[in-house]
């Protein structure tokens, strides 16, 4: 008997994603490891092959690149980041209680969000506002690394680098990682992503967003308003500037978890989890996220690991090893209020796989 996915169930799941009042369109792609079962669909304003901003799912590309460069002998994860910048460039980046910890920060601290460096995007400024407030208010402006560092040096770090049990999500960390990759390769990050990841996987609709006149990706929502931030997105490739489609992101996600870019056994090294409380609630390892799933959601059959990455835009790319299912897509909502729709969809499908109703059998 051949197993196929239950089309009726999955159609119902994607429709339910748009029942969230903050979700105006949703895309969902589901596959198993060997692609013998595959389904994609969309609801609301989006179509299943639409391009969209994957936002922080881009960080998986950074993780892949760092591990590739490590395995090629170009860097070590415990390298101090000051090694990759000119003298004085990072001066007083991390000063806490009068002590400058900048020269203690390692690549691992950046990848794991344990550096203590404030997030330029969400950290409150002296006036009580954040960079995110301005962006979500429609003020589209670039945030290159130099501006980010000037901004962050005026903020108080969250904790000392590598402080036990402490982690804080920070896009600043990944901007720095992007620059380190550029220093090592001698190439622009957009070009190195294309050369080392997108072209290798033959992805024709996946690219780092650089042309501010490119309006092919779906417009994102912030609450009930459409928001267009081309200058910002074109300036933040490392932290979240990639465009893709759900089917192409699926190809990348499976390559990430199945040894295409680095030995598969390296994945275990990434699973040093710390609980992150903002934005949302999830675990962050070394360049990898794990969803926080309370036991009561599936008391008889624990969900266990769902690993991958969220994006601020409501984009998602996750793998559930127990069922060998992979999920990609978006709810296209920047506010954070739509992410629960994607989470519930993945949980519903995993529970359906556990119970057997996800599949139909044919002779």
> Do the domain assignments include residue 66?
no
The predicted model scores a pTM of 0.97
Distance separating alpha carbons of residues 315 and 173, to the nearest angstrom: 20
245-273 per-position pLDDT tens digit? 999 999 999 999 999 999 999 999 999 99
43-80 per-position pLDDT tens digit? 999 999 999 999 999 999 999 999 999 999 999 999 99
Distance separating alpha carbons of residues 239 and 343, to the nearest angstrom: 22
> Do the domain assignments include residue 153?
no
> Do the domain assignments include residue 277?
yes
> Do the domain assignments include residue 29?
yes
* pLDDT for residue 203: 98
Distance separating alpha carbons of residues 200 and 281, to the nearest angstrom: 34
Q: Residue 288 burial by CB count (10 A; 0-12/13-18/19+): exposed, middle or buried?
A: buried
> Do the domain assignments include residue 186?
no
Average pLDDT value for the chain: 95
For helices 7-17 and 339-355, the axis angle rounded to 10 degrees is: 160
> Do the domain assignments include residue 6?
yes
Distance separating alpha carbons of residues 136 and 228, to the nearest angstrom: 9
Domain that holds residue 329: 2-51+245-362
> Do the domain assignments include residue 101?
no
HSE value, Cβ hemisphere, 13 Å, CA-based, for 124:
4
Q: Is the dihedral of CA 146, 150, 152, 157 positive or negative?
A: positive
For residue 128, pLDDT beyond 90: no
CA 116 to the chain's CA centroid:
19
List, as one string, the DSSP characters of 283-298.
EE-SS-EEE---GGGS
Cis, peptide link before residue 126, omega less than 30° from 0: no
The total number of structural domains that make up the chain: 1
**Average pLDDT of 213-230?**
96
* pLDDT for residue 278: 81
> Do the domain assignments include residue 138?
no
* pLDDT for residue 362: 56
> Above pLDDT 70, what percent of the chain?
99
Whether the Cβ atoms of residue 87 and residue 140 lie closer than 8 Å to each other: no
**3-class state of residue 328 by DSSP:** strand
């Amino acid at each position: 008997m051949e197993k196929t996915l239950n089309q009726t169930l999955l159609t119902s799941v994607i429709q339910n994603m748009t029942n969230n009042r903050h979700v105006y369109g949703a895309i969902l792609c589901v596959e198993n490891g060997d692609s013998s079962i595959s389904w994609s669909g969309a609801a609301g304003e989006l179509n299943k092959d639409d391009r969209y901003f994957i936002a922080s799912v881009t960080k998986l590309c950074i993780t892949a690149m760092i591990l590739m460069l490590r395995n090629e002998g170009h860097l070590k994860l415990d390298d101090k980041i000051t090694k990759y910048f000119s003298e004085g460039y990072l001066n007083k980046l991390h000063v806490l209680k009068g002590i400058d910890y900048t020269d203690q920060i390692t690549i691992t601290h950046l990848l794991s969000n344990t550096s203590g460096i404030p997030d330029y995007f969400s950290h409150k400024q002296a006036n009580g506002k954040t960079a995110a407030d301005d962006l979500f208010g429609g003020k589209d402006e670039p945030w290159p690394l130099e501006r980010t560092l000037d901004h962050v040096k005026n903020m108080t770090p969250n904790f000392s680098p590598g402080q036990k049990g402490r982690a804080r999500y920070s896009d600043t960390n990944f901007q720095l990682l992007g620059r380190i990759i550029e220093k090592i390769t001698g190439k622009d990050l957009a070009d190195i992503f294309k050369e080392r990841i997108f072209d290798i996987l033959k992805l024709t609709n996946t690219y780092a967003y650089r042309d501010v006149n490119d309006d092919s990706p779906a417009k994102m929502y912030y609450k009930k308003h459409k928001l267009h931030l081309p200058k910002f997105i074109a300036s933040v490739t490392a932290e979240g500037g990639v465009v893709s489609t759900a089917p192409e992101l699926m190809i990348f996600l499976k390559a990430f978890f199945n040894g295409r870019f680095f030995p598969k056994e390296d994945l275990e090294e990434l699973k040093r989890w710390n609980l992150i409380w903002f934005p949302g609630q999830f675990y962050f390892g070394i360049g990898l996220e794990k969803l926080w799933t309370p036991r009561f959601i599936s008391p008889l059959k624990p969900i266990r690991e769902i690993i991958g990455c969220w994006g601020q835009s409501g984009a998602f790319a996750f793998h559930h090893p127990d069922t060998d299912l992979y999920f990609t897509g978006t709810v296209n909502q920047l506010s954070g209020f739509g992410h629960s729709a994607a989470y519930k969809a993945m949980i519903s499908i995993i529970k359906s796989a556990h119970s057997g109703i996800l599949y139909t059998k044919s002779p």
